[in-house]
Structure 1
């Protein structure tokens, strides 16, 4: 069975990729993921805030030291007792690339187009095979317009593409008024892949402490519905590769995403719950599904259920909404009239 796939120019042995998560926080973790069957690993993100904090700290010591005496310049190497977060991140990429045989994809998480963008080039120089931009932006400022928010994405992508030659993926939020057009414009701006979709932090309240509860939660299989829809709609309309993200907890979700037209399927929550060895369960389940139906390769099913290829494209549009409503049976009236 040929399970290989192409993702933004990279050839992967199968479509299941480890998404950015704590499991890739160490070199040992990355090697474990490879040994467990990962076709590629997206490293945990380097955040814009981490970089800015380091730069601000250096500027503070630079200014305060230079006011004292010229010889203070000799003390700059001792500002920190250990390597910076960014240095550790770049070193991790170097070691991961040297010690594994799978693509290592760096990840940058930020919301502006200055300062931290320089690290895209450093990530490339460290040996990363590709870069994922996780533009995690919650526009809580109600004075911002939709156009201003969208423009941030294009400016960041343009700046990164100008700085590097490795493939660049953009991890998108579903919260745009015209997500299809947004995807099209990012594709035209040069995105090599689109990852659909990001899981935004959604706070809860602690009623005892009356505080915002920052805890996160694992995804659930029901979350595949939204990315499944848009991957099916976008398949065949863009040059960029499509990566599915959210809700993968069994081979069932993997197969559905591929039928919609995904080139790769990202997984994180299932591995956090079941361990890295669960990767093999997903791969074996995919192969079993294909074999049972006499398929010879992954390419035979990719996009078969996309809007472009189904016999009834209206199934993805408003007409199907009416059918869904008609399919519901009221449990309080059923059988009484």
Structure 2
């Protein structure tokens, strides 16, 4: 692989650019603000989103979308989910006929309820089987620190998934492949909802029993919707399911977990969002997930209660009894 463009310079985009450039691959990182791109290129660091990691000589930063896309053999798409379509339209005029497209964003588009790979193929219909998705328990700072972890790449084309897998694997970043694009994308997206709830649990001091139970029931909720949408239920027992769920719910590095803690402390959602430049995808995914649940006639009580906390200012203390006092059900109901 000669050259790669990374579209999106948040923490995760910068981390993936570091991973690739450290392997000696010529990598161009795109920031939508030219002035910020110029600052990063000069300082050789992303001080806003990933401070403390110096850029290798093989990593270049640009504010020009054409420079990030033209002539690249692969693009890694790491934009906020609600901006994916907009950014695809920006890069489309410069895209090569054989460029590989790796989605590393986790979310569901509000309105269309489409997953990221669906948006990519819709906006760039000739890309077809060249599209794949990356997911897993991958907290940006730990990956940048080269702490060991694993990830999964999903593609309908086996040889494409293997090509991506080979490109991204390092001694600290082990990559597996999957053909279940639906399951991998939904697992990576929906776990952010549960992570906000786990942060609320931590903030309210409910303890480890409650958190473990909440995460487990959250995984059941993710699996119910995923299976209804056509995913393989076993995918949610893998890296894009329980693996990503554990990391995002348990870590202080998780943006969604931190947002939940702040909600538990009594802060309002708008105040939290305005005070940070990072995107907590779980906020918008909660809305999209409930719309998908209605489409597939699936119960999502956790997402419903969290939606009330996020958008209708329900006291988090009152959401817990609503979940605890629901009618008893079989543990695997709706999954198998």
Which bin holds the TM-score, normalised by the shorter protein?
0.3 to 0.5
Higher helix proportion: 2
The structure, 1 or 2, with the larger RCO (C-alpha pairs under 8 Å, 6+ apart) is 1
- Please say which structure displays the higher CA radius of gyration: 1
Instruction: Please report the TM-score for the alignment, with normalisation by the length of structure 1.
Output: 0.32
